[in-house]
């Protein structure tokens, strides 16, 4: 899918880096990181308000919402019904129609429950949401979800927050090859190299959070990730050389000996 922009449903983006907003040490650092990343899509979670402290600062309320599209997630849901409820709450804000369907099936690995994820997507599509499911590197589930009509597929590179990079680039490349909708590699990215590699595979975007929020210098890492995503995409579009087992000289043979 060679294209200069990222199209998700009716939304069009220039940036292919999606940034999570969790775990930043301060709003100031976060605002700087978001700015230098040049992201256009920010993820959020939906949670109960602390009714005893109504004046607590909130990152979203400090954002210029004309500059960003919100991608709320359904994190916290362990079945389709809970995910649908969270999605409806998010949409009722009137701020977004995109939803990252995240239905966790296991507390230790935080791997997504494929069956509940599928069921949630089915319902949310009926209700008119722009649906972006977070899945593991399951090639067949990706196929079934795009047949169902989701607007993007978001397979994980490795477990959420693990920073292990692309554990199964082979299966991710199968998902990308068969894709009829954008593929966004979500979760498990640790370094700019991981992000670039994901883009070199042909992914349409990368969603990351901890890799930036948890870096020693989150602002610098946000810039590194921006450049990595751009470099990886350029490299993919440019078309890599085939791998060979042996050397092939870069300097001509003609004119030898000197």
What is the rounded CA–CA span in Å between residue 74 and residue 89? 10
If one asks whether residue 117 binds another protein (CB under 8 A), the answer comes out as no
Among 19-27, 111-119, 221-229, 243-251, which window interacts with another protein (CB under 8 A)?
19-27
Residues 6+ apart with CB under 8 A from 42: 18, 19, 20, 21, 34, 63, 68, 69, 70, 71
Q: Which of residues 72-91 bind another protein (CB under 8 A)?
A: 72-73, 75, 88-90
Neighbours of 99 (CB within 10 A): 28
Sheet holding 130-135, edge to edge: 98-101, 130-135, 154-155
Q: Is 249 in the site for another protein (CB under 8 A)?
A: no
Site string for another protein, 142-181 (x = CB under 8 A): ------------------xx--------------------
Which residue, 50 or 248, is less far from another protein as judged by CB? 50
Return the range that interacts with another protein (CB under 8 A); candidates 43-51, 150-158, 217-225, 245-253.
Answer: 43-51
Looking at beta carbons only, is 37 or 173 nearer to another protein? 37
Tokens read off for 248: 């092939």
Start-to-end C-alpha separation, the chain: 48
Q: Which is nearer to another protein, 73 or 146 (CB)?
A: 73
Does 51 contact another protein by CB under 8 A?
Answer: yes
Interface segment toward another protein; rule CB under 8 A; list 22-30, 116-124, 218-226, 227-235:
22-30
Instruction: Say whether residue 207 binds another protein (CB under 8 A).
Output: yes
Q: What are 185's strand-pairing partners?
A: 206
Asked about 100 being catalytic, the answer comes back as: yes
Partners of residue 206 on adjacent β-strands:
17, 185
**Candidate segments 1-9, 206-214, 230-238, 243-251, binder of another protein by CB under 8 A:** 206-214
49/256 with CB nearer another protein: 49
- Residue closest to 135 by CA, chosen among 108, 160, 98: 160
Which one from 35, 100, 197, 244 is the annotated catalytic residue? 100
Q: Are 133 and 122 in contact (CB under 8 A)?
A: no
d(CA 60, CA 56) in angstroms, rounded, equals 12
User: Among all chains, which residue has been given the structure tokens 């040490």?
Assistant: 25
Question: What does the binding site for another protein look like in residue numbers (CB under 8 A)?
Answer: 20-24, 30, 43-49, 51, 54-55, 58-61, 70, 72-73, 75, 88-90, 92-95, 160-161, 187, 207-210
Which residues are known to be catalytic? 100
């Amino acid at each position: 899918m060679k294209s200069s922009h990222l199209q998700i449903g009716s939304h069009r983006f220039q940036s292919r880096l999606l940034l999570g907003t969790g775990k930043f040490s301060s709003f100031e650092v976060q605002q700087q990181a978001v700015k230098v990343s040049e992201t256009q899509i920010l993820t959020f979670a939906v949670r109960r308000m602390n009714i005893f402290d109504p004046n607590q600062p909130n990152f979203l309320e400090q954002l210029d919402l004309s500059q960003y599209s919100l991608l709320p997630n359904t994190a916290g849901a362990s079945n389709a019904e809970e995910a649908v409820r969270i999605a409806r709450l998010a949409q009722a804000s009137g701020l977004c129609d995109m939803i990252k369907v995240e239905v966790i099936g296991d507390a230790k690995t935080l791997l997504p429950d494929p069956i509940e994820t599928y069921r949630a997507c089915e319902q949310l599509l009926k209700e008119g949401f722009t649906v972006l499911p977070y899945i593991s590197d399951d090639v067949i589930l990706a196929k079934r979800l795009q047949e169902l009509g989701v607007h993007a597929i978001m397979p994980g590179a490795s477990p959420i927050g693990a920073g292990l990079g692309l554990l199964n680039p082979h299966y991710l490349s199968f998902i990308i090859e068969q894709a009829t909708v954008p593929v966004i590699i979500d979760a498990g990215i640790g370094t700019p190299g991981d992000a670039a590699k994901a883009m070199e595979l042909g992914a349409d975007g990368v969603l990351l959070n901890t890799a930036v929020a948890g870096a020693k210098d989150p602002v610098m890492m946000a810039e590194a990730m921006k450049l990595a995503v751009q470099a990886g995409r350029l490299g993919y579009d440019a078309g890599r050389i085939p791998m060979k087992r042996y050397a092939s000289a870069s300097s001509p043979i003609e004119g030898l000996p000197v």
